[in-house]
């Protein structure tokens, strides 16, 4: 076994992680299509319930992690639902349940929403994160660990050389 293989994940390590995310029995995201994620451990760059489980894992190790909504994308906030008159939507937007929308406020800030319900004259928009209130099941595998460089720590993100 090489030194690299014996290294386990700790704070300020750059971790490469393969993952499959399953919600309600359906795969909703996976690194298979786009490669492993890389992040700096201990900086809150991935959801807390997942990050804490990666501590102490070695390269090549895999496990299943079940993350509660509170440690994932949060509980669904009932106040994050807003009813909007249908007349305010441009005609090209399909008013169907599940349609994702991006809305811009007067300051230019962009908000993601999903159509939760279509009523007779109004549309109910859900501004919660689509995974809010969901229990997340991750199948993860650590495929790389190395100490972050000082520059990466200063910048707060991983550099690819
Ligand atoms: Zn940078």
> Where in the chain are the domains?
3-73+132-155, 78-126
Model pLDDT for residues 13-46, shown as the tens digit of each residue: 999 999 999 999 999 999 998 899 999 999 999 9
CA of 146 to the centre of ligand 1 (A): 17
Model pLDDT for residues 70-122, shown as the tens digit of each residue: 999 999 999 999 999 999 998 898 999 999 999 888 899 998 999 999 999 99
CATH number for region 3-73+132-155: 3.10.50.40
Query: Domain 78-126: which topology?
Result: Thrombin, subunit H (2.40.10)
What residues form DSSP beta bridges with 110? 104
> Tokens standing for 140?
């993860």
CA of 38 to the centre of ligand 1 (A): 13
Mean pLDDT over 139-151 rounds to: 97
For the cut 60, the answer to whether the pLDDT of residue 1 exceeds it is no
CA of 14 to the centre of ligand 1 (A): 13
* For ion ligand 1, residues whose CB falls within 5 Å: 155
Q: Are 3-73+132-155 and 78-126 in the same CATH fold?
A: no
């Amino acid at each position: 076994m090489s030194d690299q293989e014996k290294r386990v994940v700790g704070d300020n390590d750059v971790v490469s992680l393969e993952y499959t995310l399953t919600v309600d029995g359906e795969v909703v995201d996976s690194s298979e299509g786009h490669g492993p994620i890389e992040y700096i451990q201990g900086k809150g760059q991935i959801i807390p319930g997942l990050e804490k489980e990666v501590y102490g894992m070695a390269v090549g190790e895999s496990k299943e992690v079940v993350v509660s909504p509170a440690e994932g994308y949060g509980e669904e906030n009932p106040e994050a639902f807003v009813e909007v008159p249908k007349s305010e939507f441009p005609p090209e937007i399909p008013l169907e349940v599940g349609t994702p929308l991006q809305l811009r406020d007067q300051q230019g800030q962009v908000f993601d929403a999903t159509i939760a319900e279509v009523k007779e004259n109004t549309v109910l928009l859900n501004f919660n994160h689509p995974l809010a209130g969901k229990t997340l099941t991750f199948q993860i595998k650590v495929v790389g660990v190395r100490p972050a460089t000082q520059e990466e720590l200063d910048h707060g993100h991983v550099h690819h050389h």
